[in-house]
Amino acid sequence: MATVNTYLNFSGNCEEAFNFYKSVFGTEFSYIGRFGEMPPQEDCEPMNEEFANKIMHVSLPIGNTILMGSDTGGEWAPNFVQGNNFAISINTDSKEEADVLFNGLSAGGMVTMPMADTFWGAYFGMFTDKFGINWMVNYDVPQPE
């Protein structure tokens, strides 16, 4: 069965916000990754040092849920405004379930990242549904031991 978590986007201050949340909830990050850790992209200019240090993804377990976030504002997200800085993130139990939910929920909406295998070991995609709600669908692909 899928689980649903909240995903917050920030305009450069994600780390500050999540350190605050961490101190309030008294938990530790289960993951924190920076844009500079991404493999180089073809046809893209080199990443500047300031952006490379920004948060690509952070996960903070809170009870049975996970509060997640990233830095997506500034020049790399010209449509970012406070109020549209969140997404509903769904974690699934299989690629098939991920595809069913992605295809169903994105119908009539706008796909921003089709479902695909990622460098961080997940099968992942993003879209805005026909009602203007941002969604992320994720399946954590089991890694060989």
Reported as a pLDDT band with limits 50, 70 and 90, residue 79 is low
Which band of pLDDT confidence, cut at 50, 70 and 90, is reported for residue 39? Answer: confident
Distance (Å) of CA 54 to CA 66, 104, 106, 129:
20, 32, 28, 27
Of 20 and 96, the one with more pLDDT:
96
Greater model confidence, 103 or 45: 103
pTM flag (> 0.75): no
Distance of CA 143 to the CA centre of its chain: 20
**Average pLDDT over every residue of 85-113:** 91
Residue 142, judged by CB atoms within 10 A of its CB (0-12, 13-18, 19+), counts as exposed
- DSSP output for the chain: --EEEEEEEESS-HHHHHHHHHHHHT---SEEEEGGGSPPPTT-PPPPHHHHTSEEEEEEEETTEEEEEEE--GGG-TT--TTS-EEEEEE-SSHHHHHHHHHHHHTTSEEEEEEEE-TTSEEEEEEE-TTS-EEEEEEEPPPP-
**Out of 21-35, 43-57, 71-85, which region has the weakest mean confidence (pLDDT)?**
71-85
Closest CA to 37 of 29, 47, 45: 47
Comparing 79 with 12, the larger pLDDT belongs to 12
Is pLDDT above 90 for 37? no
Whole-number mean pLDDT of the chain? 86
Task: Name all domains of the chain by residue range, CATH numbers in brackets.
Answer: 3-140 (3.10.180.10)
Instruction: Specify the higher pLDDT residue, 80 or 63.
Output: 63
